[in-house]
Chains A and B, each alone.
Chain A
Amino acid sequence: MQKGKMFTRTRGVRRSNFAVRTLSMGVLMACASIAKAGEPFVDSSDGSATCPSSAYLVQMGVARVYDVDLILGDYSLLNDDVFTDGSRGKLNAAGYSIHDHYLYAWSYPHQTLARIGNDMKVEPLTLSGAASSSGSPTTNYYIGDASTADGDYAHYVYKPGNGNGSQLGLWRIELSDSAVDAQYSMRQVAPFLTENGSRKDLRIYDIAFHPTDGYAYAVDRYADLWRIDPTDGSVLKLADMQNNVAFNVTGVFGAAYFDETGALYFSRNNDGSIFKVDIGLSSDTGVRTYNPALFAVGPASSNNDGARCAAAAVALPEGDPGRGERNIDFGDAPFQSSFSDNGARHGILRDANGDPTFYLGDQIDGELDSFVYPLSDDAVQSNEDDTDGSFDRVDDEDGIQFATGLTAGSADNVIIANVVNNAGIADAKISAWIDFDKSETFDLDEQVIVNQSVNAGPNFMTVEIPADASGSTWARFRFSSSTMDSPTAGVSDGEVEDMQINITEGTTVSWYPSEKGFTTIAYEDNWPFEGDFDMNDLVAYLRMGTYSLGGNATSVHVNGEIAAVGAAYHNGFAIRIPSVLNSDIESHTLTINNKPVDAGALLAGAADSDEAIFTIAEDVWDYLTQGEEDNDAIIQRIFGGSDPLSTGADVANLAEDKVCEFYRTQEGCGGDIDLKFELKIDFAEGFAKPIQAPFDPFLFATPGHYHGELFYGYAGAADYGAPGRDYEIHLKNQAPTHLFQSAFMTSSFYQDYAGSVDASNPGSDLYYLTDTGLPWAIEITDRWNYPREFQDLLLAYPKFQNFVETNGASSANWFSASERDPLYIFTN
């Protein structure tokens, strides 16, 4: 159960480097009737067993055992009826023995060590040697763990105080027969812990044995990190960790665990915070900084004790990153998002049907790890389209709405959080951070919403933006029942939504086609020859935002993605802002995949022209990966490494081979979009020219690359056959730039060249049209699903014919999803 709520999580299978998956609650309950009581958690009889990854947490006055997912802090009840003899009371000082794969814990009602197998039932052990008149201990140890050291098959318990002659201090309980100690014999290691030979009573509540170095470690209530030598009870203070971090890391840490990398996890009782600090695998303590970080928020309890196999990894489950186990929602900002960065992550609560019950907006999707921007988790979906079987893109960053623009220096910025709470959770809340200083860190002092309670439905809230904030940055919103004072770490429920925002001075913004929508520009790239009209030689998605004050544009933002390249020609991509000159521009920046591009995108104006042209990429192939098979592999596979022609192979059948030649136009070829850019242009003061999206996006030939036999004889380029920047393709009837070689449209050599179908006539303002009026580039005002490689546009979108034949009067939405034939559409 989740914190006593009547909802369960569909749990993913964790990384299984062990032979037998430990039992989660559902599995345990289903199998309890067939499991043999008292069996170890994994079968080590053949020597192949390795550890379960679960952490076990014992809580409550009447012991309950939980399975804790350290990644999320999520937990599920394994057993609330651990005693078989009617006893009631606590279990404490728990540890997992990597030697026999049992849990051991001190049983308060029995005042002895108990062994716990995979049925989660307590088996009290009969000890010998304890210092009491009866021969059995008469106190309750609340600190302990099982040793991980080779040859030290023992469980250690500790209770502070002067143990000289009493039962306090550090004790060792032999778990098997050894040369020194009989099985279950208990002997005192030290009457008290010592630091530099002097008694040291630590305010600790659990210890955890390191996976390899043989020491136990503990964090006291003051955040001091201690190393304990189990052979003599001496301790070494490694760090005052509170000095290393800005947030509060003090408290009662009732549960401690290690993982295989030597990371120590320690859980604070009062709020369930699970911190992580790297101890490392080396015993060299002189070079470490011991900076703890909040790792997850787990269950709070006044009484905790933890146990975990220290040799097991704390790792995300393995599987298909695109589909499969998706029960964790990660943020996707370009920082503080991935699991390796302890990124924000939320468990997805689901009902019995697997439907999510506690999230923001209309959608939530899970990932195996963050799809860090510029990657996107939008394609990671299982909601198969009923009509064409494709997997539609779903944007789950849809729960936070900016009802007003974000204005610097204003406290009236209105945000709406749309909450879905079918789980009936009473304490839902939202926290949010904005990276105002663009440091690529959500700093603690950049938290703009602090655990604000929210109800199901729309929740209006206001956010204050500092006066010195400006421009594009990232915001993170977290929704959970847990208290969220950190932009990182895991929580067991809710959702994280990261989004790019833009802070303005209170400007008017017009978006084309909308603030989050895209328009598509699709090219055939063999002008002046007729194309095959699959319209995918180059496909760009574009969004333009124009910012203005007093009716005059102050800046333009263009966001774009290169969605497809179904061509082998090397092409560049650029955007001209019609009617705007270089002298109108005060500054500009271009980022590709969230990284600034050093080279300025603005082309220098020619002597006779100063038009503003921005080169996005001189060769889009520089950023793209078309497939997984390289040419050598293809040749090897098809021709056995021989010259293709010398083999006599039927090269025509190449068309039947599954080879990724292009980028995202062939089935299975190309993953998520590899090239995303953002162009920002600030106009000079006093700029007052009208500008209008979609501006003039165009394709040009990459300099130095072959672009067809027509240009063999063209000496204007540095290389024969390579017209380079002299060659452009624009939308129909859009004039080329001043950099275009006008002779390509006016010289009879080119116009009369065999096969040319170009009917451009600059004198009549006719450009880039065939002799039947068809274009080489079209704009589709949507994020368009373009045809597969080599499939005619009319096959994919039959109503395009009616649209053309009526000059656009009919079938105005010929490009919509409902009008397409999915057989001929590219799907990734």
Chain B
Amino acid sequence: MKRQHILITACLSAVLYGCGSAESDSSNSNLNIGAALGSGTGGGGAVTAPPATTPTVQTADLQASVQFDFATSWDMDINFSLPMTNTYMSLCTDYKIMDNGAVDVKFDSCIVRAPITDGQYNSLDVPMTNAIDSLVAVLIDYANPSAPMYTEFSVEPGKETLEWSEGVSL
């Protein structure tokens, strides 16, 4: 709901709304000039360029299934049997493979980070976002931290499980 914060007289509120107090706080005479002037449901405060534009099809014209939740993510189970123990695993979304074959991973893009002592990582219902189309798993061997192991996975929205065997070693 948009309303102008323009101060106008309290009597105006009665005229516009035909009933009592409009606002109970210190700005209790604030009223919706925009709405009062017919700027539309839920609007009325727009004061900046570009002017409101009416699309051919408006969002309000759309029809959605009652069960459709508009989500842009889904859940996926991860079942990894890793090729090493005593390692630190990061599962990340932002990385690039350099011309020389090196892998540049943005570790702050990771969705899971875990110390692994038994070579197993299993997690149910890991939320994945629609923007993710691939993942890279980085394994840091504590005994040799400067030589990480990288494995790449492809994913698509709705994929239900991810197994280590699906990965491609980089």
Our pick among A414, A705, A774 for the contact of B145 (Cβ within 8 Å) is A414
The answer on a CB contact under 8 Å between A567 and B68 is no
Our pick among B3, B20, B110 for the contact of A514 (Cβ within 8 Å) is B110
The answer on a CB contact under 8 Å between A773 and B46 is no
Our pick among B19, B48, B66 for the contact of A788 (Cβ within 8 Å) is B48
Our pick among A508, A712, A781 for the contact of B20 (Cβ within 8 Å) is A712
Measured between alpha carbons, how far is A732 from B68 in the docked complex, in Å? 8
Contacts of A805 in B (CB 8 A): 62-63
Q: How many A-B residue pairs have CB under 8 A?
A: 299
The answer on a CB contact under 8 Å between B24 and A706 is yes
Our pick among B8, B53, B112, B125 for the contact of A509 (Cβ within 8 Å) is B112
A824 and B72 in contact (CB under 8 A), knowing A401-B108, A526-B1, A645-B8? Answer: no
Interface size on B, residues (CB 8 A): 89
Our pick among A704, A721, A782 for the contact of B22 (Cβ within 8 Å) is A721
A666 and B126 in contact (CB under 8 A), knowing A508-B113, A568-B5, A781-B72? Answer: no
Contacts of A581 in B (CB 8 A): none
The answer to the question of B97 belonging to the interface, with a C-beta cut-off of 8 Å to chain A, is: no
Interface string of A650-694 (1 = CB under 8 A from B): 011011111101100011110000000000000000000010111
Our pick among B24, B51, B113 for the contact of A722 (Cβ within 8 Å) is B24
Our pick among A510, A658, A812 for the contact of B112 (Cβ within 8 Å) is A510
Our pick among A515, A690, A782 for the contact of B110 (Cβ within 8 Å) is A515
Select from chain A the residue with minimum beta-carbon distance to B4. Answer: A661
Our pick among B33, B50, B57, B108 for the contact of A515 (Cβ within 8 Å) is B108
Measured between alpha carbons, how far is A768 from B41 in the docked complex, in Å? 17
The answer to the question of A427 belonging to the interface, with a C-beta cut-off of 8 Å to chain B, is: no
The answer on a CB contact under 8 Å between A792 and B53 is yes
Q: Shortest Cβ distance from B71 into chain A, in angstroms?
A: 7
Measured between alpha carbons, how far is A689 from B16 in the docked complex, in Å? 52
The answer on a CB contact under 8 Å between B68 and A804 is yes
Measured between alpha carbons, how far is A720 from B17 in the docked complex, in Å? 13
Our pick among A651, A666, A808 for the contact of B70 (Cβ within 8 Å) is A808
Q: Shortest Cβ distance from A603 into chain B, in angstroms?
A: 22
Select from chain B the residue with minimum beta-carbon distance to A646. Answer: B9
Measured between alpha carbons, how far is A306 from B3 in the docked complex, in Å? 62
A508 and B1 in contact (CB under 8 A), knowing A515-B108, A568-B30, A808-B70? Answer: no
Contacts of A405 in B (CB 8 A): 88, 113, 115
A394-417 residues with Cβ-Cβ distance < 8 A to B are: 398, 401-405, 407, 412, 414, 416
Q: Which of A443-451, A471-479, A528-536 lies at the interface?
A: A528-536
Measured between alpha carbons, how far is A785 from B128 in the docked complex, in Å? 20
Contacts of B58 in A (CB 8 A): 533, 792, 794
The answer to the question of A813 belonging to the interface, with a C-beta cut-off of 8 Å to chain B, is: yes
Select from chain B the residue with minimum beta-carbon distance to A526. Answer: B1
Measured between alpha carbons, how far is A782 from B46 in the docked complex, in Å? 26
Our pick among A644, A661, A790, A792 for the contact of B8 (Cβ within 8 Å) is A644
Select from chain A the residue with minimum beta-carbon distance to B114. Answer: A508
Contacts of B43 in A (CB 8 A): 532, 790
The answer to the question of B111 belonging to the interface, with a C-beta cut-off of 8 Å to chain A, is: yes
B contact face: mostly helix, strand, loop, or mixed: loop
Measured between alpha carbons, how far is A778 from B7 in the docked complex, in Å? 33
Interface string of A703-717 (1 = CB under 8 A from B): 011111100100000
The answer to the question of A772 belonging to the interface, with a C-beta cut-off of 8 Å to chain B, is: yes
Contacts of B69 in A (CB 8 A): 731-733, 775
A581-633 residues with Cβ-Cβ distance < 8 A to B are: 631-632
Select from chain B the residue with minimum beta-carbon distance to A639. Answer: B6
Measured between alpha carbons, how far is A823 from B50 in the docked complex, in Å? 8
The answer on a CB contact under 8 Å between B88 and A418 is no
Our pick among A506, A644, A721 for the contact of B23 (Cβ within 8 Å) is A721
B75-126 residues with Cβ-Cβ distance < 8 A to A are: 75, 88, 90, 92-94, 102, 104-115, 123-126
Contacts of B115 in A (CB 8 A): 404-405, 407, 506, 508
The answer on a CB contact under 8 Å between A782 and B23 is no
Contacts of B60 in A (CB 8 A): 530, 533, 772, 774
A contact face: mostly helix, strand, loop, or mixed: loop
Our pick among A401, A712, A789 for the contact of B107 (Cβ within 8 Å) is A401
Q: Shortest Cβ distance from B134 into chain A, in angstroms?
A: 14
Which of B40, B93, B113 counts the most A-chain CB atoms under 10 A from its CB?
B113
Which of B49, B90, B131 counts the most A-chain CB atoms under 10 A from its CB?
B131
Contacts of A525 in B (CB 8 A): 1
A509-523 residues with Cβ-Cβ distance < 8 A to B are: 509-517, 519
Contacts of A659 in B (CB 8 A): 4, 47
The answer on a CB contact under 8 Å between A515 and B109 is yes
Measured between alpha carbons, how far is A509 from B92 in the docked complex, in Å? 12
The answer on a CB contact under 8 Å between B62 and A515 is no
The answer on a CB contact under 8 Å between A645 and B12 is yes
The answer on a CB contact under 8 Å between B9 and A532 is no
Q: Shortest Cβ distance from A396 into chain B, in angstroms?
A: 13
Which of B37, B126, B146 counts the most A-chain CB atoms under 10 A from its CB?
B146
The answer on a CB contact under 8 Å between B59 and A666 is no
Q: Shortest Cβ distance from A24 into chain B, in angstroms?
A: 37
Our pick among A412, A645, A705, A733 for the contact of B24 (Cβ within 8 Å) is A705
Contacts of A812 in B (CB 8 A): 72, 130, 157
The answer to the question of B137 belonging to the interface, with a C-beta cut-off of 8 Å to chain A, is: no
Contacts of A537 in B (CB 8 A): 1-2, 42
The answer to the question of A816 belonging to the interface, with a C-beta cut-off of 8 Å to chain B, is: yes
The answer to the question of A779 belonging to the interface, with a C-beta cut-off of 8 Å to chain B, is: yes
The answer to the question of A151 belonging to the interface, with a C-beta cut-off of 8 Å to chain B, is: no
A530-582 residues with Cβ-Cβ distance < 8 A to B are: 530-533, 537, 566-570
Contacts of A692 in B (CB 8 A): 75, 125, 127
A790 and B2 in contact (CB under 8 A), knowing A529-B41, A722-B24, A772-B62? Answer: yes
Which of A407, A513, A774 counts the most B-chain CB atoms under 10 A from its CB?
A513
Measured between alpha carbons, how far is A788 from B46 in the docked complex, in Å? 9
Select from chain A the residue with minimum beta-carbon distance to B100. Answer: A457
The answer on a CB contact under 8 Å between B47 and A654 is yes
| Cβ contacts A to B, 21 pairs, < 8 Å | A506-B115, A514-B94, A524-B42, A530-B42, A533-B58, A644-B6, A645-B9, A651-B33, A652-B37, A655-B39, A661-B5, A692-B125, A694-B127, A720-B20, A721-B23, A789-B2, A792-B55, A794-B57, A804-B62, A804-B70, A805-B62
B residues apposed to A, CB below 8 Å? 1-9, 12, 17, 19-25, 30, 32-34, 37, 39-43, 45-55, 57-60, 62-73, 75, 88, 90, 92-94, 102, 104-115, 123-127, 129-131, 138, 140, 142, 145-146, 148, 157
A residues apposed to B, CB below 8 Å? 398, 401-405, 407, 412, 414, 416, 418, 458, 460, 462, 506, 508-517, 519, 524-526, 529-533, 537, 566-570, 631-632, 634-635, 643-645, 651-652, 654-659, 661-662, 666-669, 690, 692-694, 704-709, 712, 719-722, 731-733, 755, 759, 766, 769, 772-775, 778-782, 788-795, 800-801, 804-805, 807-808, 812-813, 815-816, 823-824
Interface contacts beyond A643-B8, A666-B46: sample of 14 additional A-B pairs, CB < 8 Å, sorted by A:
A403-B138, A403-B145, A407-B115, A512-B127, A514-B108, A519-B129, A568-B30, A654-B34, A705-B24, A721-B21, A733-B69, A773-B66, A794-B62, A813-B130
